[in-house]
Structure 1
């Protein structure tokens, strides 16, 4: 949720601007009127990032399974809206100044990968494969939250490499790759199972085998 603050704040300011409010962020000449795809992308991303974060809390899943299922359906729909609108914006809107062909391809690849991960995650839960469901939803969430990571990778790349087209494209791509690397580590790390307390008040924690359900 903390990682999503920067892109969601920027998206909110863009919506205010498009609605006729003050220009609190630099205007984008590519956007005229109230572009439906961009509005859908921003609003769906806000829901996906904030509500989706709670889907990964084990206690919430255990104690409120009905809420988890209902919210999960909405999160999946929002995620597909994010991916679909990202593809639309990439294919049918003029490229953002300072970006090149590499970022164009990366946006198509990762938006498609996010949509595919959501579809596979939903398919997995329908066949009661909890492990696969968790893994695919983590991957989808990691891709969707890359805009937060890119706020940092863009700044680092600009400071080190300058604001050249290729450097900034690589910085954007790094945001997705970093998030997916963390996602894969989260998916495959050994689970920790806490044992009952000993008489002296201490606890013993042992690792479950890799891939074991949590």
Structure 2
């Protein structure tokens, strides 16, 4: 009788354990799927936004260089920017290279993050990767020149933010190249993501600005360029994406479903805010390319 009762107890215990394990596996699978879909959501949004940004750069900056009409850059003068300066050949060349190089970063960078590209087109991935590294390195150096040498005004908070961002680009470029040479694929992918984010900080900066303006206006608020958000976002445009990346890496390395759901939810929210920014930024870029009066 005791053996029978003991056997029934053990059977019940085993059954409960199997049910618990099954629920855990189901929960873990759902969390992994949530993280996967939120990542895909982010990537598609980034790819669409980046490629339109590439189209804008080539249409506005690229063709202005080809047509020797670089004076058109000063349409930004309404915002206190005069990229084209008469007689400053070196400065104009540096700015043109910086702007058009950013176009390549926008077009080719996201492709480097595609696993399918690495798997099925390894030679292209490698060649595009090294070209990308050279480009972002050159962009960082030209950025330092434009901020610290060409700009005759006192260094502003924007300049400091841009400089810190440039230092991060140089550092991440080094680690990205080193891990690639050592064939440390796992860490190389992480450094590649970090490099992609800081290399596109100025794009995130613009999306954040328009997201803030559109969201604030939609909520009945009165967002202004003097709001505290703007100086904070000067640094937030690369800090927040990096923090999100570290959370994503943590979620990928852990078995804890809660962490995966937090990462998936955070990434989805940031992607939605990014899309809101695109809704404001895209018409603005179209307005710039059309030659009409620039206003926000």
TM over 0.5: yes
Once the two structures are superposed, residues 5-61 of structure 1 have per-residue CA deviations (whole angstroms, 9 ceiling, x without a partner) of 565455442454563168484344353145121111112111122112111111121
Equivalence for 1:88: 145
Q: 8 Å contact 1:157–1:171 — kept in the other structure?
A: no
More strand by share: 1
Larger Rg: 2
1:20 to 69, 72, 80: 69
Q: Which moved more, 1:45-54 or 1:170-179?
A: 170-179
* Deviation for aligned residue 1:166: 5.7
Once the two structures are superposed, residues 171-211 of structure 1 have per-residue CA deviations (whole angstroms, 9 ceiling, x without a partner) of 3322222322232233333269xxxxxxxxxxxxxx9xxxx
Q: Number of aligned pairs?
A: 191
- The answer for unaligned runs of 5 or more in structure 1 is 193-206, 208-214
SS of the residue 1:29 aligns to? coil
Using a 3 Å threshold, how does the CA distance of structure 1 residues 168 and 94 change in structure 2: closer, same or farther? farther
Residue correspondence of structure 1 range 135-146 to structure 2 within 5 A = 135-146=190-201
Q: 8 Å contact 2:83–2:95 — kept in the other structure?
A: no
Q: Distance in 1 between matches of 2:243 and 2:98?
A: 24
Equivalence for 2:118: 61
Q: 8 Å contact 2:176–2:192 — kept in the other structure?
A: yes
Q: 8 Å contact 1:138–1:183 — kept in the other structure?
A: yes
**Alignment pair present for 1:188 and 2:237:** no
1:117 to 165, 172, 175: 172
Q: Give the TM-score taking structure 2 as reference length.
A: 0.56
CA RMSD in angstroms, aligned pairs only: 3.1
Q: Distance in 2 between matches of 1:23 and 1:14?
A: 9
Equivalence for 2:49: 3
Q: Give the TM-score taking structure 1 as reference length.
A: 0.74
Q: Distance in 2 between matches of 1:112 and 1:150?
A: 17
Equivalence for 2:181: 126
Using a 3 Å threshold, how does the CA distance of structure 1 residues 190 and 116 change in structure 2: closer, same or farther? same
More helix by share: 2
Higher RCO (C-alpha under 8 Å, 6+ residues apart): 2
